[in-house]
Amino acid sequence: MRVSRKAKQMSPIEVYKLLPKTNCGKCGFPTCMAFAFKLVQGAVEVDKCPYLSDEAKSLLTGMTAPPVALVVIGRGDKAVRVGGEKVSFRHEDKFYNQPVIALELNDLMDMEEVKNCLKKAEEAAFERMEQTLKVNALALRNLSGRAEPFVRLVELVKDTPYPLIVSTENPSTAMKALNILKDERPLLHGAVLRNLMPMASLARRFKCPISVKAADWRTLLAAVNRLRGIGLHDIVIHPPGETLKEVIESLTIIRRLAVDKKFDRLGYPTITFPEDLKSNVPEPLRTAAVMTRYSSIIVVKPETLRFLRPVMMLRQSIMMDPRAPISVKPGLYYVGKPTPESPVLMTTNYALTYYILTEDLKNMGIDCYLIVVDTGGLSVACSIAGDKLKPESVKRVMEETGIAEKVKHRTLIIPGRAARLSGDIEDATGWRVLVGPLRSREIAEFIEKQFRRE
Amino acid sequence: MVIGATEPEGGSRGYVVEAGGAETLPFYTFEGLNPRPVLALEVYDCVEPLPSFLLESYRDVVSNPVEWARLVDRLEPDLVNLNVRSISPTVLDRSPKDALKTVEAVLQATRRPLMVTGIMDPIHRDDTARNMEFLRLVAETFKGERLLIGPATPEAFETVAEAALANGHNVLAKTNMDVNQAIRLNELLVEKGLTLERIVVDVTTGALGYGVEYTLSTMERFRIRGLKGDRMARSPLIFFASENLFIRELENGESGMAPIYEASSAVAGLMAGADIVSMLHPESLEKVRQFIDEFPWRGG
Ligand code: SF4
C-alpha cells in the first residue's frame, strides 16, 4: 500500500471524519470516536478497522507513521528493518530497530579473501543474554570499476544468510547485479545526482530500497524529492560529510528535523561509512560515535571486525527498552540438578544479574537452587543503594517456594554486594547467611571452601 | 568548575582545569560550541580490585601509587583521579589518617589537578563512615588545593559538603542512575552552601552491556533539563569509562581489547554529555584524546 508521507498530525475529530462512523465495534472499541482517539495517540494500528477506504487508510497510516520511515532490506529470513524510529533520545520512548552493522566486501578481493572475511564475520558473532550479536548485512563495493568482478562477487555471496547492499555508481553494473538478485530486495547504494534517474528506475524495476548521497543539503533534498516524485519511498540517506565532525552533525540534524519538525524529506534511515572518513580516530570509536548518533546502517571493514565487540555490546545496551527494564520472575530456579545437599543462592531479579549468574554457575558445573527476589528489576548494587532489597521479600519468596522442604540444610548464600544486609536477612528468614563473593565467577571456589566445609 | 589551584592561588598545582559550562547539547556543533571535555586518568592506592591483565602489564607501577602517579603524569591527562579504597574494612582496613600519606605523596608526584575519591561502591556497613572521615581529613589537610573530592551520596553528604566548603574544594555527588535523585542531591548540597559550579554529578556508570544505557539516558535527561533552565541540573557530569575494565569479557581472554572497550564507552559517555571522563587503562587516554581533537571546542 502506498502510504501518504504527509506527516501532518490530525485531531481526533479530523480522524473521525475519515472513519465509517458505524460504531460496529470490530476494532475493539465501542465507537468510531473512541478508535479515533486511540489512533491519534498512536496507541492502536490503523488496520484494526477493516472498513476503511483506501484513501482513508493511506492518510491515517501516514499520520501514525514514525517520523523516520521504516525500510526493509532483504526478504524473508534475511530481512533486516532499519529506521522506523520515533524519538531522538531513548528515554522519550525507545529505539525500535537496531543499527545494522554491514561488513564491507569489494570486487578486488579474490574468492579466498571473500570467504575468509565471511568466516571472520561468523566468528565475530556471539551470544549475550539470549541474543546473537553479529554482523547483519554485507555491503558489496564496486572498487574495480568494472562489471564482471562485481557480478562475480554478487554471485559468490548471494546465498549467504546476509541481506545485501549493492554499492556502485554505475547503473549498468548495478543492473547486472540486481538481475542476479532478482526480488531479493538488496539496498541499492551509489545513487548521486549525476546518475539519479537511471538508478531510481532500477530501484523501481527491482522493487528495492535505494540510498542517495549528496555533498550538500540542497542537492540531497532535491534528490529525495525526485525519488519520491517517481513513487519511491524506500529511501536511505547517505548523509553529507567527509570528517567525523561533519557526519555527526549531519546525522544529528537529520534525526532532529525528522522527529521535532516532522520534516519528512529527511525522515529516512541513514547509512554511514565511518572508516572512509578523513579521521585519525581508531575505527571502533568512530563506529561507536555514529551509532550513538542514529546511523541506521554502519559499514565496517573486515580488519575492524574483531574490535567491534564493545560496539555491539553498546548497541545491545542502547536498544534496551527503557520503559520496561528487563527483569526475570521472582521465585525459585534450578541450576543443573540440585539435590537436598545442594547450596541455596540468592540474587535480585534484574535480568542481567540473573543471566550472568546462571551462566557462570552452569559453566562451573554447579548444581544449586537460586532464589530470585523481587527488587523491581534492579541489580544487587542498585537495589541495596535504593533500599529495594528487603529482607522481608527474601523471606516471602523462600516461604512461597517451599525451599525449606527441598534442602536438608538451612544456609543461604547471598551476593557479596548484599553483605550489609546479612544480619537482617538472617533475622527475617531464620536461616544462616553466608556472604558470597563479589564476583559470581568466584562462587565455585567459595562453595568448595565455605559451604562444603560444614 | 575549576579544579586545582596554582601557587599564587594557595595551592601547589602546575595549572588549573575547568570543567562544565556546556551551553548546548553535546556535539551539536552546528548550534554552538561547548568547552573541551576533561580527561582524567585513575591511580589506585591498592591493587586489590584491579583486573589481572592490568596487573600483568603494569605490575611494578600499579603496586605503588607514587610510581603510578608518575606514569599517569607522563601520559598528560588533564586531571589525575586518586582512588583510595584501602580504607575499606573489606579491603586493607587502612586508617583514613594513614591513607592521607598516599594523597600527600601523589600530590608531590604530579603537579596536575587532583581528584580524590574514597570507596565508590560501599559494600561493608562501615564504608560510608570511613569515606566521611577520610574525605574530611583530606579536605582539611590539603586546604587550598581546590581538589575534587567524593563521593557525597544522598545517605552521606553533609560531612563532605561542609569540609569542602570550609576548605575550598569541589564535591563529587554520586547517585544511582536516576535524574531526579541527582537533582535532589544537588539541592541538598546547595542548601549546605555549595554552589553548583562546585559540584560534579556522577549518576553512576554502567559498563557496555552492563547497564550503560541507564547511565547514558540519565546523563542526557540531566543535561536536557539543565539546558532548559532547571538550575539544579546545571552541574558538570562525570562518566567513569574505567568501569569497563572490570567486566567478565576482559577476564575471559579478551584483555587485549581493554583500551578499546574503555575508549568506546568513553565516546558514548561524551556523546551523552560527559564533561569529565575518567579512565584507568594507560592506553585508553590517547584514543579518546584523538576523538576529542577532531571536534571544535569553545575557546579552542
Ligand atoms: S471497526 Fe471501524 S467502523 Fe467499526 S467501530 Fe471501529 S472504527 Fe468504527
> What pLDDT, in 10s, does the model give residues A12-68?
898 999 999 999 999 999 999 999 988 887 778 888 999 999 889 888 887 778 899
Q: Does residue A370 surpass a pLDDT of 60? A: yes
pLDDT for A111 equals 94
Share of chain A above pLDDT 70, in %: 97
Instruction: Tell me which residue has its CA closest to atom 6 in ligand 1.
Output: A27
The C-alpha cell at A49 is 478497522
Pick the residue from chain A with its C-alpha nearest to B292: A281
Instruction: Tell me which residue has its CA closest to atom 7 in ligand 1.
Output: A32
CA of A49 to the centre of ligand 1 (A): 5
Q: What is the mean pLDDT of residues B242-259?
A: 87
Q: What is the mean pLDDT of residues A92-119?
A: 96
Segment (H or E) for B41: strand B38-44
Considering Cα of B53, then B54, then B58, then B60, what sign does the dihedral take?
negative
Nearest CB to A282 within list B153, B224, B263 = B263
Q: What is the mean pLDDT of residues A82-102?
A: 95
pLDDT for B199 equals 98
Share of chain B above pLDDT 70, in %: 100
A155, A132 in Cβ contact below 8 A? no
Contact A420 B251 (CB under 8 A): no
- Ligand 1 atom nearest to CA at A31: 5
Pick the residue from chain B with its C-alpha nearest to A252: B28
Average pLDDT across chain A, whole number: 92
CA of A17 to the centre of ligand 1 (A): 12
The minimum CA-CA distance between A72 and chain B, rounded to whole Å, is: 26
- The CA-based angle B110-B112-B117, given to 5 degrees, is 90
Give the amino acid at A94.
K
Q: How far is CA A160 from CA A142, A224, A297, B82, B94, in A?
A: 19, 31, 19, 51, 60
Query: Which CATH number goes with the domain that contains B138?
Result: 3.20.20.20
Q: What is the pLDDT of residues B30-69, one digit of tens each?
A: 999 999 999 999 999 998 778 888 888 888 888 899 999 9
Beta bridge partners of A272: A298
Pick the residue from chain B with its C-alpha nearest to A415: B123
Residues of A in contact with B290 (CB under 8 A): 280-282, 285
Q: What is the mean pLDDT of residues B285-294?
A: 98
Residues in Cβ contact with A297 at an 8 Å cutoff, skipping those fewer than 6 apart: A82, A99, A100, A102, A137, A165, A187, A236, A269, A270, A271, A272
A12-64 placed in CATH 3.20.20.10: no
Q: How confident is the model at residue A7 (pLDDT cuts 50, 70, 90)?
A: very low
Pick the residue from chain A with its C-alpha nearest to B252: A441
**DSSP annotation of A99:** P
B257 lies in a domain?
yes
B298 lies in a domain?
no
Structural domain boundaries, residue B281: 2-292
Q: Does residue A8 surpass a pLDDT of 60? A: no
Q: How confident is the model at residue A325 (pLDDT cuts 50, 70, 90)?
A: low
**DSSP annotation of B247:** S
- Ligand 1 atom nearest to CA at A48: 1
Q: Which of A87, A91, A280 to mutate to test the interface with B (most CBs of B within 10 A)?
A: A91
The C-alpha cell at A289 is 560515535
Residues of A in contact with B263 (CB under 8 A): 282, 284-285
Contact A252 B296 (CB under 8 A): no
Residues of A in contact with B269 (CB under 8 A): none
pLDDT for A2 equals 43
Q: Does residue A286 surpass a pLDDT of 60? A: yes
Average pLDDT across chain B, whole number: 94
Give the C-alpha separation, B144 to B142, whole Å: 6
pLDDT for A338 equals 94
Q: Does residue A221 surpass a pLDDT of 60? A: yes
pLDDT for A240 equals 94
Q: What is the pLDDT of residues B142-195, one digit of tens each?
A: 999 999 999 999 989 999 999 999 999 999 999 988 999 999 999 999 999 999
Question: What are the strands, taking DSSP E only, across A78-227?
Answer: 80-83, 100-106, 126-128, 131-133, 137-141, 164-167, 187-191, 210-213
Contact A419 B123 (CB under 8 A): yes
Residues 112-171 of chain B with CB under 8 A from chain A are: 121, 123-125, 153
CATH architecture of structural domain A70-319: Alpha-Beta Barrel (3.20)
B148 lies in a domain?
yes
pLDDT for B100 equals 97
- Ligand 1 atom nearest to CA at A30: 5
Q: CA end-to-end span of chain A, whole Å?
A: 70
The minimum CA-CA distance between B265 and chain A, rounded to whole Å, is: 8
Nearest CB to B294 within list A279, A314, A417 = A279
Give the C-alpha separation, B39 to B76, whole Å: 9
The minimum CA-CA distance between A245 and chain B, rounded to whole Å, is: 6
Which of B282, B270, B208, B195 has its CA nearest to residue B239? Answer: B270
Segment (H or E) for A413: strand A411-414
A164, A74 in Cβ contact below 8 A? yes
Contact A282 B295 (CB under 8 A): no
Does residue B27 belong to the interface with chain A, where contact is any CB pair within 8 Å? Answer: yes
Residues of A in contact with B291 (CB under 8 A): 244, 281, 285, 289
Of A126-140, A262-276, B10-24, B242-256, the poorest mean pLDDT is in B242-256
Residues of A in contact with B271 (CB under 8 A): 289, 292-293
Fold adopted by A331-451: Rossmann fold (3.40.50)
Q: How confident is the model at residue A243 (pLDDT cuts 50, 70, 90)?
A: very high
Residues 264-293 of chain B with CB under 8 A from chain A are: 264-265, 267-268, 271-272, 287-288, 290-291, 293
Q: How confident is the model at residue A454 (pLDDT cuts 50, 70, 90)?
A: low
Contact A245 B294 (CB under 8 A): yes
Contact A285 B263 (CB under 8 A): yes
pLDDT for A326 equals 73
**DSSP annotation of A4:** P
B88 lies in a domain?
yes
Residues of A in contact with B268 (CB under 8 A): 288, 292, 314
Q: What is the mean pLDDT of residues A93-112?
A: 96
Pick the residue from chain A with its C-alpha nearest to B153: A385
B142 lies in a domain?
yes
B300 lies in a domain?
no
B299 lies in a domain?
no
Instruction: Determine how β-strand A297-300 pairs with β-strand A271-272.
Output: parallel
Q: Helix, strand, coil: what percent of chain B each, to 5?
A: 45, 15, 40
Contact B267 A285 (CB under 8 A): yes
| Residue ranges lining ligand 1, Cβ < 6 Å | A 19-20, 22-27, 29, 32, 35, 49, 51
Pick the residue from chain A with its C-alpha nearest to B155: A385
Q: How confident is the model at residue A9 (pLDDT cuts 50, 70, 90)?
A: low
Residues of A in contact with B39 (CB under 8 A): none
Domain boundaries, chain A: 12-64, 70-319, 331-451
Q: What is the pTM of this model?
A: 0.90
B192 lies in a domain?
yes
